Amino acid sequence: MGRIGRNDPCWCGSGKKYKKCHIGEPPPSSGARKTEQAPVDAVVKGRVSPMRDVPQHIVRPSYAVSGTPSGPRAHSCIKTPEEIERMRHAGRTARLVLDTVLAAVRPGITTDSLDVIAHEKAIELGAYPSPLNYHGFPKSLCTSVNEVVCHGIPDDRMLKTGDVINCDVTVFIGGMHGDCSETVFVGKPDPQTIKLVEITYECMMRGIDAVKPGKTLNEIGKAIAKIAHKSGFSIVRDFAGHGIGSQFHQDPQIVHYPDIRQRQKVETGMTFTIEPMINIGTHRCTIWPDDWTAVTTDRKRSAQFEHTILVQASGNELLTGGEGDPWFKRQLAQGW
């Protein structure tokens, strides 16, 4: 990998020329080693289309107009039977939207087109696409390509063969949010990317298995670390899973690495997400100047899966579970 040229796009992903942006500064990961630069094929910010409208008949969350969630912050994610029914509906709706988006992933499609699909499918199902205007997020879907860890903003970048993309869907319906994501391949993936995606999925599933009434939340991070570290991959620390319900993000925080402060006990009736982000290289993240897009500091690839789960005495229910295997397994079964 050669040195970054003055007229090359800046490593920070701003889309500006290096000479107009971080001239003289190496990418943060490279420290003193001036020879290590962002890969030439790093994702750069594209053009973001105007915010889309949501028809008046769709019930909106508190932040839809102001951008800021309001109302009392819920400190418990334990649900009543009636709330559980509404959570099931929100989870199923999020899954339907995610499946529709994933079916459209192919080389040549823009992430903006995927956003249109998510936006329209949510509305068709009577739901508000939760990301839209959440703390000002400008789109209805998060699309995180290659080294983008999470919160990628859909834009006019076309997906290309060899890319890997996480699509993260959240919907608000019946007063509740449902949140899920999957990472899929665009065309034929390379072996290291296959390994990353397989391990990340296993991290999520083993993390979910570790959720048992009476055990602490720390069991989740411990289970994930066992899988991730045996493969030499790292676990992102800057973003966590979360309680979910009438609020998009609420207590408790679900960290994906071992942390003895995660002493809270799991109780039946809780609904929260597990959404590990696993990286090939460093666990560290850098945020683009758009204040949302998180990329790995070394620009190596990252993957993520997410489910919203309900804790029950009889076992955990995947509120955002689909039929059978995740999409990437189906892709591999097709000989990709």
Binding site for ligand MF3 (CB under 6 A): 131, 134-135, 137, 142, 151, 168, 170, 179, 273, 275, 306
Cβ at position 241, least distance to Co ion in Å = 6
Q: How many other C-beta atoms are found inside a 10 Å radius of the C-beta of residue 300? A: 19
- The residue written with tokens 């982000």 in the block is 277
Q: Answer yes or no whether residue 93 interacts with Co ion by CB under 5 A.
A: no
Nearer to ligand MF3, 37 or 147 (CB): 147
Is 246 or 273 the residue whose CB approaches Co ion more closely?
Answer: 273
Residue closer to ligand MF3 (CB basis): 143 or 218: 143
CB of 295 to Co ion, least distance (A): 17
φ/ψ of 291, rounded to 5, equals: 70, 5
Binding partner selected for residue 4 from Co ion, ligand MF3, none, CB under the kind-specific 5 to 8 Å limit: none
Which of 58/332 has CB closer to ligand MF3?
58
If contact means CB under 5 to 8 A according to the sort of partner, which of ligand MF3, Co ion, none does residue 134 touch? ligand MF3
Residue at shortest CB range from ligand MF3: 131
Cβ-proximal residues to 273 (8 Å cutoff; 6+ apart), any chain = 179, 241, 242, 244, 254, 306, 307, 308, 309
182 interacts with Co ion by CB under 5 A: no
Residue 179 binding Co ion, by CB under 5 A: yes
Query: Is 163 among the residues that bind Co ion (CB under 5 A)?
Result: no
Instruction: State which residue, 27 or 131, has the beta carbon closest to ligand MF3.
Output: 131
Q: Residue 248 Cβ, how far from Co ion at the closest point, in Å?
A: 8
CA atoms within 13 A on the CB side of 121: 24
Quick one: what does residue 308 bind among ligand MF3, Co ion, none, with the CB cut-off 5 to 8 Å set by partner type? none
Closest CA to 90 of 281, 241, 203, 248: 248
Is 168 an interacting residue with respect to Co ion (CB under 5 A)? Answer: yes
Between residues 4 and 112, which has the closer beta carbon with respect to ligand MF3? 112
Q: Is 110 in the site for Co ion (CB under 5 A)?
A: no
Q: Of the candidates 129, 131, 134, 112, which has an alpha carbon nearest to the alpha carbon of residue 55?
A: 129
The region that residue 335 occupies, defined by phi over 0 for left and psi between -120 and 50 for alpha, beta otherwise, is left
User: What are the residues binding Co ion (CB under 5 A)?
Assistant: 168, 179, 273, 306
